[in-house]
Amino acid sequence: MKKKILLFVSLLIGCTLFMHMMIQQSRRVMEAGVLSWQEIEKLQESRSQIEDGRAVLLINGIKAAYEREEARYYISRNMEEDQWKGAISAAVDGLPASVIWAEDDGFRDLKHAIAEGHTFQCMIYNDSEYQMVSVLFTGLPVMEIEGEMGVLGSRVRVFDPVRSLRGDYQTEDCYAYYNIRGNASKRFEKIGYRLEFFQEDGSPGLDRSLLGMRSDNDWQLKAMYSDRSKLRDKLAIDLWNEIADRTGTPADSGCHMEYLELLVNGEYRGLYGLVEPTDYKSLGLDRDKDLIYKASADEWPGEERFDRSEQEQSFVCAGVHIRQADKEFYPGIWEPFRTFWKHGYEMESEEDLQVLYTCIDRQNFIEYDLYYNAISGMDNRFKNIIYSTVMHEDGTYTIRRIPWDQNYSFGDDFNKEETEDDKNIRFNPELCERWLNEEVFRNMQTYDTELAADMNATWKSWRKSFLREEDWKAYAGKLMAYLQESGAFSRDTIRWPDSENVPGTEEIETFIDRRFVWLDGYLEELSGGKSH
């Protein structure tokens, strides 16, 4: 009888352990099972440890982003969804291997674990060897760049279950070239990058849609080092697109930007903005006949410099350059911008105004002026402007202004007490109640008696539709929550302490509350209460 009882108890314990193991294995994380640490240790008993570098974790068959210093993989997870997307697998010495997750309380409260930067463990193993690896789940898409900067032949891998247009776990592995983006980047340790994707044979033109944006082979990574909130560029870009979408004119369109975390050659680089370039494609321009002039520095052109650029067949004139694309230089390529400059920046009479109005979109200039005043775009008055120029069949043309690089905005100003090598930025509440102007629009106001009323009318139409304080404060709060809950904001703050990140929206909300109302009164007074 005792033997029967002992046998029954043994069978019951065995069945319980078997059922427990089956239940654990039925839990799947990215199609890999979850085992207790006791069961993990049993699997390890008959195996030896794998040397570093031989075992690799894969997502949808592509090597996952790996940070060497902390010895951990970064895996993107959509925080808004309960189900797991994507399939995790592994390889040892290039051969398929198994992967299993170690049981972790973090799986029970994944959102908290992601926000806190909790590290999970999984085991890569084959019949004779194993290796434990660390995994950090982030709520943002992840990009990894591997290869030498400035040399064709790098790899760019993107992991995105968050913004993908396909709705699945999008993974991309592209042959690429990358280099430093922007003059300001060269002054700081956290630099921006420009990416270009190529076919595997090195030929150009590999287009990919990334983070829900357009399909393209040319991308930019904004470091956002001087944007302490990491919100200003995104808010300013999205506000311009609200304005441009209402014009119905593609040539008014701006870029788009989405957030990701970046690793370069195994080094964690932090929180970045992936940006579509504003180019002939985004503006709906004809690459052969239309033109893009880009004012990127405070150095002004003039008659002598225009003459020199024409003589030297240069696409650069002082702080302005022409987006070349596939264009060859031809005589008169500077003529549209030169005419705009002469009759806009050097306006001396009403006759100059009339010539100016034959070559610019007046309403676009009104919208641009109101826009950079709405955000107090301190760096968007002369430079950081793209001039989208449509050339018509009759030889005339229409120039429009498009903003870019709007990090000095929403109350952030230059800190003139700092040296040029410093971050050189501060929150300036005085910008809430200061009208910003620039030479062309100041000249237009001098000779165009209807301009103030039209400005006021445009502003009022915005205020009734998309430019309400509560909406933009709520949007800022939503973006900040996204960055904080993803864990990325905290990691970027630790990685780049000199960036002095501000983990909240108080400054921006203060600016919005004061700025929009002040502009209501200023434009009403400027127009004498008139609006057409």
Domain carrying residue 35: 29-138
Residue 413 placed within a domain: no
Same domain, 165 and 100: no
Taking CA atoms, 9 is separated from 4, 39, 358, in Å, by 9, 21, 95
Residues 221 and 133 grouped into a single domain: no
Same domain, 195 and 255: yes
Is the domain of 132 the same as that of 172? no
What whole-number distance in Å separates Cα of residue 224 and Cα of residue 488?
13
Greater confidence (277 vs 346) lies with 346
Q: What is the mean pLDDT of residues 271-285?
A: 93
Q: Which residue among 256, 271, 286 closes a domain?
A: 271
CA-CA distances (angstroms) from residue 370 to 364, 455, 531? 10, 7, 14
Count the domains in the chain: 2
Q: How far is the C-alpha of 89 from the C-alpha of 336, rounded, in Å?
A: 57
The answer to whether residue 275 scores a pLDDT higher than 60 is yes
119 and 85 share a domain?
yes
Higher-confidence residue of 209 and 21: namely 209
- Residue pair 67/474 in contact (Cβ under 8 Å)? The answer is no
Q: Do 153 and 175 have their domain in common?
A: yes
CA distance 172 to 143: 9
Q: Is 244 helix (H, G, I), strand (E, B) or coil?
A: helix
Residue 528 backbone phi and psi in degrees, to 5: 65, 25
Question: Per-residue pLDDT tens for 217-266?
Answer: 999 999 999 899 999 999 999 999 999 998 878 778 888 999 999 999 99
More confident residue, 514 or 6: 514
Averaged pLDDT score across all residues of the chain: 92
Has residue 22 been placed in a domain? no
- Name the pLDDT band for 52 (thresholds 50, 70, 90): confident
Per-residue confidence band for 15, with pLDDT thresholds at 50, 70 and 90: very low
Distance of alpha carbon 233 from alpha carbon 222, whole angstroms? 9
Report the percentage of the chain scoring pLDDT > 90.
84
Dist CA 405 CA 234 (whole Å): 10
Domain membership of residue 293 (yes or no) is no
**For range 92-104, the mean pLDDT:** 97
User: Does any domain span residue 35?
Assistant: yes
The whole-number pLDDT of residue 188 equals 78
Radius of gyration of the chain (CA): 28
d(CA 183, CA 54) in angstroms, rounded, equals 40
Give 147-182 pLDDT, tens digit per residue. Answer: 999 999 999 999 999 999 888 999 999 999 999 986
Distance CA 506, CA 488 (A): 20
Q: Which of 247, 271, 295 finishes a domain? A: 271
160 and 249 co-located in one domain: yes
**Residues 93 and 149 both lie in one domain:** no
Answer for the pair 39, 21: CB distance below 8 angstroms, yes or no.
Answer: yes
The DSSP bridge pattern shows strands 32-35 and 95-102 to be parallel
Q: Are residues 173 and 243 in the same domain?
A: yes
Q: What percent of the chain has pLDDT over 70?
A: 92
pLDDT tens digits for range 106-124: 999 999 999 999 999 999 9
Last residue of some domain: 106, 138, 170? 138
Please report whether residue 508 resides in a domain. no
At 10, is the pLDDT very low, low, confident or very high (cuts 50, 70, 90)? very low
Give me the helices (H) in 421-487, please. 439-447, 451-465, 469-485
Residue 83 identity (one-letter amino acid): Q
What's the burial of 529, exposed, middle or buried (CB within 10 Å: 0-12/13-18/19+)? exposed
Is residue 378 domain-resident?
A: no
| More confident of the two residues 253 and 350 | 350
Residue 416 lies in a domain: no
Task: State whether 100 and 149 are in the same domain.
Answer: no
Report the C-alpha gap between 391 and 288 in whole angstroms: 10
pLDDT at residue 420 in the model = 54
The single-letter code of the amino acid at 261 is: E
Q: Read off the pLDDT band of 54 (50, 70, 90).
A: very high
pLDDT, tens digit, 9 for 90 and up, residues 55-83 = 999 999 999 999 999 999 999 999 999 99
pLDDT at residue 423 greater than cutoff 80:
no
**Among 168, 176, 405, 369, which Cα is nearest to 294's?**
405
Based on the fold, state whether residues 151 and 171 are members of the same structural domain: yes
* Count of helices and strands (H, E) across the chain: 13, 27
User: Is 47 among the domain residues?
Assistant: yes
Residue 75 shares a structural domain with residue 39? yes
CA distance 197 to 204: 7
Mean pLDDT for the stretch of residues 411-435? 81
